[in-house]
Structure 1
Amino acid sequence: MPGHDAADLAHRLGEHAEAVCRHYLSNGRRSGNYWTVGDVRNASGRSMFVRLRDSPKGPPGKWTDAATGEHGDLLDVIRESLGLVDFRDIADEARSFLAMPRAETEPRQERTRVPAPTGSTEASRRLVAMSKPIIATLVETYLRGRAIATLHGTGALRFHPHCYYRPDDYGPTETWPAMIAAVTDLDGRLTGAHRTWLAPDGSGKAPVDTPRRAMGDLLGHAVRFGVPGSVMAAGEGIETTLSLRCAMPDMAMAAALSAAHLAAILFPPTLERLYVIRDNDPAGDGARDSLIQRATDAGIEAIVLSPAMEDFNDDLRHLGLTALRATIADQLMRRDRFRYLKQAA
């Protein structure tokens, strides 16, 4: 964070430390000269202590999490509790809060601004809003490196150049470029986001332990490409789904992000036929069977599309687009083969 501006804002927030805690760490409570809460992301608990008054140990607003060893100031509280990424947005939020009327010792009241804990739907919305279209970015470089060249209609994908990544072992927070995917419901409302952290040159995924993570409300929802009518395809991963879309760019498709979420994906009311994009693994088989049963029960025809290799991105990269089209041609209904594969004729 820019040093002078950050230090000034942190100091001003510290002058109203209890009000800040009541607003952004609403699951905690005051305990003497400290605010106690589960963690900086506003979890319930008592392992994190925020100093509320100046003392020989330090200024107000400084905090320590006894469980993880994390520590910081109230700007870090704003960043983590709201899921913000850029300092500009953190500073804007802090300035907005400092302009709000407040009563330090009054019980919690309804606020005009609702905190968005990390991982929430609101945090997902903020992340997507701070990202930009993928054309001429590292996301385009990454996807083309995976042989995915059909990029029109991919407005659900965005690019963030400095997306926060926190290791699972509570190591220091890092920033990496990332592909951000908007997860939406059937009405197009954003409910979550998926992050794929990328290498600085876009040549592959970032060298981190878990380069893919999702956040928000995911169950039943998906990353969507195209508007479904009577026919659509649904798969697990974004790259697998986009690979099949290279062969059938006019078919609406949805990536559910995991086998479990694929099995639970919601059906558009206009849907008559669903193509289930299968991965060659046991989890994929279980998701396929569950989804087929749900579709059948709903009166929707369900047809499985199986890759020649492990998944359709393997087919696209190693066998090529022509071979991928040939693989799926005989698996499609005749009318769909004519409609969606006609450009390959």
Structure 2
Amino acid sequence: MPITNPTAHPTDRIDRIKACASGRWREIFVRLGMPETHFLRPNKSCPLCGGRDRFTFFANEADGGWLCRRCGHGDGIELVRRFCSASFPQTLEKLETVLGLPHPNERYSRRRFDLKSARQAEEARLAALAEVWERAQRLCVPVAHTETNPALRYLKSRGLGECDRSTELRWLADEPYWETDEKTGRPVKVASYPVMLARATDEAGRLVALHRTYLTAAGEKAPVSAAKKMSAGAMGNALVRLFPASNLLCLSEGIETALSVHMLTGLPAWSVISLSGFKRFDAVPVGLEKLLIYGDNDASFSGAAGAYELATRLRAKYPHLAVEVRIPTRVGEDWNDVWQRERLSLGR
């Protein structure tokens, strides 16, 4: 007979579910009754409110991140909870069942979660990422090569040609691009493109994930359905720490946005990679005195909401940390838009 296990910790269950669900969220949503069409492309109808052209599933995010311009945003667990109208414990049980994980209130289980195998798989994943990063080239190259380097040409087109100093950016001349076949569900190589890499690390500086921006030789985004992709795997507190923090630090969503903030302020800036990264952020560096959160001014207010939500949480947890939120004044703009106007006014 099932019994309650007093030693089970909710955070352990959540971490285990996220580790097993990474890269499988679309499959999970479909198995729980959500039509797959919601998750194939951006700006589809929402599985929660049904509204057209307002829902986006971030397939390259390990935690199943999503955004609806009416319902808000969250991770895969939150989408399942709301779709199934379930309590949080019930949601965890549903996900454990789909993933084949034992429930913590089961004394015996036919399915044992093999921690050793999971650990070995994670070590293999990280080793593969490290191999890609090691063979990639630094962006710092002689000025004469700037015009032939797709990654530098891309940054220059965004007004960020001086940001090659970041050690967290590299590039590869030829990287395969994969998409999931809608009929078979299997990955298919579409083509190969130059790619700009950004390294996401944890608090100890260890590589956790790689963000890829697929490009053309001319330095434009590649003509694919998702030119920006994050490698699969649990993110934890992984961020793209573009420049070493001092007693001041700027935080923003996207990588180019963080680089733009750096150009505007001259201060160290980190990227949380996406809006859901604001929810994950809890890695305040030792010695930090002031954190400036740069949110996007989305028409849906989601960027500002995420920035202020993070500020509220950090002020409560770190009462001695000065926290400010900054949002572009124009609706629909991010901080790269602001920097582009500023550099033009300066003649740069």
TM-score band by shorter chain is 0.5 to 0.7
Q: CA deviation at 1:262?
A: 2.2
Distance in 2, matches of 1:155 and 1:145, equals 20
The separation in 2 between residues aligned to 1:323 and 1:304, in whole angstroms, is 24
Displacement of 1:291 in angstroms is 1.1
Q: CA deviation at 1:130?
A: 1.9
Match of 1:302 among 317, 323, 340: 323
**Quick one: which amino acid aligns to residue 320 of structure 1?**
E
Residue matched to 2:288? 271
TM-score between both structures, scaled by the size of structure 2: 0.56
CA distance in 2, matches of 1:286, 1:124: 33
Residues 6-53 of structure 1, C-alpha deviations (whole Å, 9 max, x = no match): xxxxxxxxxxxxxxxxxxxxxxxxxxxxxxxxxxx99xxxxxxxxxxx
In the alignment, is residue 311 of structure 1 matched against residue 334 of structure 2?
A: yes
How many residue pairs get matched?
216
Among candidates 297, 302, 306, match of residue 287 of structure 1:
306
CA contact (8 A) 1:246 1:321 kept: no
Secondary structure of 1:320's counterpart equals: helix
Rounded to whole Å, the distance in 1 between the matches of 2:308 and 2:284 is 16
Name the residue aligned to 2:130: 125
Q: TM-score, normalised by structure 1?
A: 0.56
Letter matched to residue 208 of structure 1: V
Say whether 1:186 aligns with 2:198.
no
Off by >6 Å, runs of 4+ in structure 1: none
Give the corresponding residue for 2:230: 214
Change (3 A) 1:132 1:148: same
Please report how far the alpha carbon of residue 308 of structure 1 lies from its aligned counterpart in structure 2 after TM superposition: 3.5
> Whose Rg is larger?
1
Distance 1:294 1:211 in 2: 32
Secondary structure of 1:166's aligned partner: strand
Residue 150 of structure 1 aligns with an amino acid whose one-letter code is E
Secondary structure of the corresponding residue to residue 284 of structure 2: coil
Q: Which stretches in structure 1 are left out of the alignment for 5+ residues?
A: 1-40, 43-109, 325-345
**Partner of 1:146 in structure 2?**
158
Match of 1:255 in 2: 271
1:160 equivalent in alignment to 2:172 = yes
- Distance in 1 separating the partners of 2:287 and 2:196: 30
CA contact (8 A) 2:139 2:165 kept: no
**Structure-to-structure mapping, 1:3-18, within 5 angstroms:** none
Residue 149 of structure 1: how far off its partner (Å):
2.6
* Alpha-carbon distance in structure 2 between the residues aligned to 1:289 and 1:121: 33
Report the equivalent of 1:321.
343
**Which structure exhibits the higher relative contact order, with contacts defined as CA atoms closer than 8 Å and separated by 6 or more residues?**
2
- Corresponding letter in the other structure for 2:133: V
Partner SS for 2:167: coil
SS in 2 for 1:186: coil
3-state SS of the aligned residue for 2:218? coil
Give the drift of 1:191: 1.1
Q: What is the CA RMSD across the aligned residues, in angstroms?
A: 3.1
Contact 1:219 1:261 in 2 (8 A): no
Distance 2:234 2:121 in 1: 16
Q: Percent identity?
A: 25
Kindly indicate whether the alpha-carbon contact (under 8 Å) linking 2:275 and 2:303 is maintained by their aligned counterparts in 1: yes
- CA displacement, residues 46-72 of structure 1 (integer Å, 9 cap, x when unaligned): xxxxxxxxxxxxxxxxxxxxxxxxxxx
